[in-house]
Amino acid sequence: MAESICRLLRDGALEGEHAPALTIKDSIASPFGFHVFAHVLSQLSSFILAGKSQSRGLVVVCFSRSPSFYLELLKNKGIDVVSSDKRIQTLDCYSDPLGWKSRLTETGNFMACSHETSISRTTNVFKDVKHMDKLYNSIVELGKGLVGGGKIRFSVAIDSVDEMLRHASMSSVSGLLSKLRSHDQVSSIFWLLHSDLHEAKVTAVLEYLSSMVAGLEPLHQPANGQRGDMENFSLIEHNLKKGKFHVRFKRRNGRVRVMVQFSLQLSEKERIDKANVVLPFEHQGNGKPIQIYDGRRSLADSKHERPVGATETVQTSEDSGRGEIIYYRDSDDEMPDSDEDPDDDLDI
């Protein structure tokens, strides 16, 4: 399913339609959203650098991690970050999101370390995250700087909508995302959301703006909502290692398609329960030899032939108290049931 998401983001927008948008959401119970975000980011970056994507550039808007973190991430994925700077650019909303450091530096009350100074010179630092209009303009300008004008498109990745919602209203954030989707040079856009940090209506709005929603849920739910006993602690620990991943695709006609992916690994208890399941063909016999009715003879082992001419009789066994229907052929010309086609010899 993750590959289906990456392909749709790679293929981009159709002429006259909004760009495909992906919401990746998780919660503290299944905190694997960033792993999905990193996978999608690396896959789309590979497509762009190989020239296999509609998009010819990628703008990574960094809120929760520094630009250097993403450069190292792509490098570890085997992507040449040295040559990728002409196709991939970061907008740094992490280092100085409100401009406090720069103002203190100007007044002489703050001394930036050499590492921060080198980052500010090589990346695009955005220092006013409260204003979504300015952020939108910075993203578009950076994207156009990668691909130029005309109909060439670029993609946008936002690593934390949560950080945006800390500084701006829901209407402002949703307005920015909607304008990016409808921009004629944006090929695709995706973002990460920690859904349990917000009200349900916030998540609903972001999902409404999306053409795809990738959600992560815990494999096991604690019993009765209680987390005090050892069993539930064990479940919580297990949920921190694995999760359930499902994707919802919104089609152009408005229909929604949901795909669910479960863990294919069975626990020891699940293997035992599976082995104890009695299959339909195993519950017969009760320790006695199993007799299979072939459709021609009674299960009772009859050794007597009946005279020809009788049709059907009902015989009741006094020992068992059960009745059975015994069928006798009316003539020798009547053939018994078989798998052969009776009209097989006809020349039609």
Q: Counting Cβ atoms within 10 Å, is residue 219 exposed (0-12), middle (13-18) or buried (19+)?
A: middle
Q: Are 21 and 177 in contact (CB under 8 A)?
A: yes
User: Within a domain: residue 202?
Assistant: yes
Q: What is the CA radius of gyration of the chain?
A: 34
Between 296 and 97, the more confident residue is 97
Q: Are 143 and 186 in contact (CB under 8 A)?
A: yes
SS3 content of the chain, % helix, strand, coil (to 5): 35, 20, 45
pTM over 0.75: no
The residue written with tokens 């003539």 in the block is 331
**Nearest Cα to Cα of residue 211 among 190, 197, 242, 225:** 190
Helix (H) or strand (E) holding 45: helix 33-49
Domain count, the chain: 1
Between 151 and 110, the more confident residue is 151
Question: In this predicted model, what pLDDT tens digit does every residue of 82-127 receive, in sequence order?
Answer: 777 789 999 999 999 998 888 787 777 656 555 454 444 446 899 9
Q: Are 325 and 314 in contact (CB under 8 A)?
A: yes
Question: In this predicted model, what pLDDT tens digit does every residue of 200-247 receive, in sequence order?
Answer: 999 999 999 999 999 988 876 666 555 455 556 666 666 677 778 889
User: Within a domain: residue 85?
Assistant: yes
User: Within a domain: residue 112?
Assistant: no
* Strand 186-194 with 256-261, pairing: unpaired
**Nearest Cα to Cα of residue 158 among 176, 137, 146:** 176
Q: How far apart are the first and last CA of the chain?
A: 53
Cα–Cα distances in angstroms (integers) from residue 76 to residues 39, 69, 188, 250, 293, in the given order:
12, 11, 24, 33, 65
Query: CA 240: distance to chain centroid?
Result: 17
Which residues form the domain of 33? Answer: 1-107+118-220+237-269
Quick one: pLDDT at residue 325?
Answer: 67
**Torsions phi, psi for 280 (to 5 deg):** -55, -35
Count CB-CB contacts under 10 A for residue 162. Answer: 17
User: Within a domain: residue 339?
Assistant: no
Mean of all residue pLDDT scores within the chain = 79
User: Within a domain: residue 87?
Assistant: yes
The predicted model gives 129-152 an average pLDDT of 94
Between 261 and 55, the more confident residue is 55
User: Within a domain: residue 334?
Assistant: no
The residue written with tokens 């760009």 in the block is 19
Distance separating alpha carbons of residues 150 and 221, to the nearest angstrom: 51
Residues of the chain with pLDDT > 90, as a percent, come to 48
Count CB-CB contacts under 10 A for residue 165. Answer: 18
Q: How many CA atoms lie within 13 A of 112 on its CB side?
A: 19
User: Within a domain: residue 154?
Assistant: yes
Look up the CATH number of the domain holding residue 45. Answer: 3.40.50.300
Quick one: pLDDT at residue 30?
Answer: 87
User: Within a domain: residue 55?
Assistant: yes
